[in-house]
Chains A and B, each alone.
Chain A
């Protein structure tokens, strides 16, 4: 057994000792057993070919986190989407913070609780549903998460409820005295014909050194509709491995927007299961990397039934010596006739040292389907640059404007205006020479 696994084992034993009588301990144990057996994935595994997780597995993260760090009001104001008047759940270094959260005055029958609390209050539901919608339950990181679940969010939206206020889930990491790991776990259950908007926001403060290993499971009943935003802005030293899993019933609609700009080494997985006729998923994604960042986006869609649809559109902007990966796999199962599956990945390389590996994959076992996929890698267009410069715009500004325009195509797919505005500000802040273009956009 290697040193890291031994380290996790020691932590795990301690955890099992504390939570001996927990109904969940059996599940933890079997998850940990799988993890211990398989260890961390190497780049020999097809799914991890372009992402070497050694930087994560070399480090011994503490499982004990400091939930008492002070987050200043200024920091909180900059982080939270205050103007959206969200139902707010805030976690500090993995633990639920009542102080910054606001889950009062919820509509009837809507359940929103932090996971630690749900383990006590919603035992029956969790027993039945937790880990049921994880599509790749042999993944090392998912099993590690299951073994170490400390907190997270449980949401149960009752049938026919249209929730107007977005639910915002924010994981803040801030602690410079500790190298630590958190394993946030979210379970979102959408009743028949219910509608909701959920924002998952991962953010680091002060270049903290930590590892976020997050898992979100969602289940959409017939006719349900979920708009999901993931905003990944971890600290520049942080590692982030996160998976979003969907399990979709008849005529349900999932809209995923993934904006990934932070972190040193990042992997975002989306596993979508279109289980019944008429289920539909849209995946919209933007990754922006600089310096030595590495961001890997993996999507997998399973079309199990006829008349299901998936539509993916991902864009990457890569600068410095950074590296991006896009690997999108669509599997059309034998009975799944009349499905539509589209996938597009466009990348803009801003420096000679930046690198992108893009690999769209289609596996089709049905014959009456509409599928297409495409990937492009390019630099800023010289004719566009010249046009702008011939209109008196200096070169740096022109470059910055065109880069912004490229990224904004993804943000423009967001229909929620105030989220869109907020994200536009966020990505402008990440552009080279962003100050030059603020007034134009």
Chain B
């Protein structure tokens, strides 16, 4: 589904990714671990189409298309979803309206009819339970005044509604207490199926106690330095990131 080949990127002449390779097949869950500053968010942002990165070399194909040529909205419509590490607050843009617009834009792209207000609210109610979202948050501006945990949960809630094909979660676990972490994990696990792939970017092994990945990769200084199964995460937890260098 996703093939990243020999990817090099720089921002303002600062090299960040330096020859990254990664392949993700449909139905798989990949965990990408790495120390702070290793380039995890950069990778996630590039996959979602954020501007400002200079891609100096390499390629990314997604469902046999050149992903790098697509705008962020085209990627989203084709099933790419990024749960942000730091979701931005957008005063004045209503959370639930945004979500409805997002879902309908995706459905339109898929040739499905748009949902009307009733159908949409029914869908929302079901998914809200899944992530135990506070109802009040729906009618507020996007992320405005949300606590750190509420922002992360809102990302998972959006993911649950939009049902992406490729979901990239950038440190969604960071800053969450254990209860919130479990809720996030349950959200991911309930969406896990053979038609959907996940890239879980995480700094700690903790999340992987609740979501069992198929593959674990260690990112360091802009490239994947080690790949393995779930046991690699445990080993990393035990020995620390110094061990890989």
B residues contacting the other copy or chain, number (CB 8 A): 33
6 inter-chain pairs at a CB distance below 8 angstroms, sorted by A residue, are A382-B52, A383-B88, A389-B76, A392-B77, A405-B93, A440-B97
Q: How far is the CA of A441 from the CA of B81 in the complex (A)?
A: 24
* Interface contact B92-A409, CB-CB below 8 Å: yes
A390–B72 touching, CB < 8 Å: yes
Which chain A residues border B93 with CB–CB below 8 Å? 388, 401-402, 405, 440
Q: Which of B36-95 contact A (CB under 8 A)?
A: 48-52, 71-73, 75-77, 81-82, 84, 87-88, 90-94
Q: Is B102 an interface residue (CB 8 A)?
A: yes
Give Cα distance in the complex from A393 to B75, angstroms: 11
A440 to B52, CA, bound (A): 28
Say yes or no for B20: interface residue by CB 8 A criterion: no
Interface residues, chain A, with chain B CB atoms under 8 Å away: 381-384, 386-395, 397-398, 401-402, 404-406, 408-409, 412, 439-441
In the complex, are the beta carbons of B90 and A405 less than 8 A apart?
yes
Return the contact of A440 from the options B49, B50, B98 (Cβ within 8 A): B98
Interface contact A387-B90, CB-CB below 8 Å: yes
B158 touches A (CB below 8 Å): yes
A182 to B: closest C-beta gap in Å: 37
Residue of A nearest to B76 (CB): A392
Which of B92, B98, B102, B109 is the one whose CB lies under 8 Å from A408?
A: B92
Q: Which residues of A sit under 8 angstroms from B142, Cβ to Cβ? A: 387
User: Which one of A382, A393, A439 contacts B73 once the chains associate, using CB atoms below 8 Å?
Assistant: A393
Q: Are B49 and A391 in contact (CB under 8 A)?
A: no
Q: Which of chain B's residues have a CB closer than 8 A to the CB of A382? A: 51-52
> From residue B31, how far is it (CB to closest CB) to chain A in Å?
21
Complex Cα gap A388–B97 (Å): 12
**Pairwise interchain contact B105-A388, C-beta atoms closer than 8 A:** no
| B49 partner residues in chain A, CB cutoff 8 A | 386, 389-390
In the bound complex, do residue B76 and residue A391 qualify as a contact, i.e. CB atoms below 8 Å apart?
yes
* B102 touching A391, Cβ below 8 Å: yes
Please state if A390 and B76 are interface contacts (CB–CB under 8 Å). yes
Question: CA of A404 to CA of B94 in the docked complex: distance in angstroms?
Answer: 12
Name the A residues within 8 Å of B94 (CB-CB).
440-441
Residues of B within 8 A of A412 (CB): 92
CB distance from B172 to the nearest CB of A (A): 15
- Taking a contact as CB atoms closer than 8 A, the residue among B71, B102, B105, B162 that contacts A395 in the complex is B71
Residue from A382, A387, A402, A412 whose CB has the most chain B CB atoms within 10 Å: A387
A389-B73, A404-B92 are known contacts; what are 10 more A-B pairs with Cβ within 8 Å?
Answer: A382-B51, A389-B49, A389-B72, A390-B73, A390-B84, A393-B102, A402-B90, A402-B93, A405-B141, A440-B93
A436 to chain B, nearest CB (A): 10
Query: Are B88's CB and A392's CB within 8 A?
Result: no
A440 to B92, CA, bound (A): 11
- Would you give the shortest CB distance from B138 to chain A, in whole angstroms? 15
CA distance A393 to B48 in the complex (A): 13
A395 to B87, CA, bound (A): 18
Q: Decide if B102 touches A389 in the complex (CB within 8 Å).
A: no
Cβ A405 vs Cβ B92 within 8 A: yes
CB of B92 within 8 A of CB of A387, answer no
Chain A nearest CB from B228 CB (Å) reads: 30
Contacting residues, chain A, for B76 (C-beta < 8 A): 389-392
Tell me the complex Cα distance, A228–B77, Å.
Answer: 46
Residues of A with C-beta under 8 A to B105: 392-394
* Docked CA distance A405–B94 (Å): 9
Q: Give the distance to chain A from B230, nearest Cβ to Cβ, in Å.
A: 29
Does B101 sit at the interface, judged by CB under 8 A? yes
Min Cβ gap B229→A in Å is 30
How many Å from the CB of B16 to the closest CB on chain A?
Answer: 17
A397 and B71 alpha carbons, distance in the complex (Å) = 14
User: Contacts A405-B93, A440-B98 known; A384 to B88 CB distance under 8 Å?
Assistant: yes
- The yes or no answer to B106 lying at the interface (CB within 8 A) is yes
A440 CA / B142 CA spacing, docked (Å) = 13
Contact assessment for B102 and A409 in the assembled complex, using a CB-CB cutoff below 8 Å: no
Q: Which residue of B lies closest to A439 (CB)?
A: B101
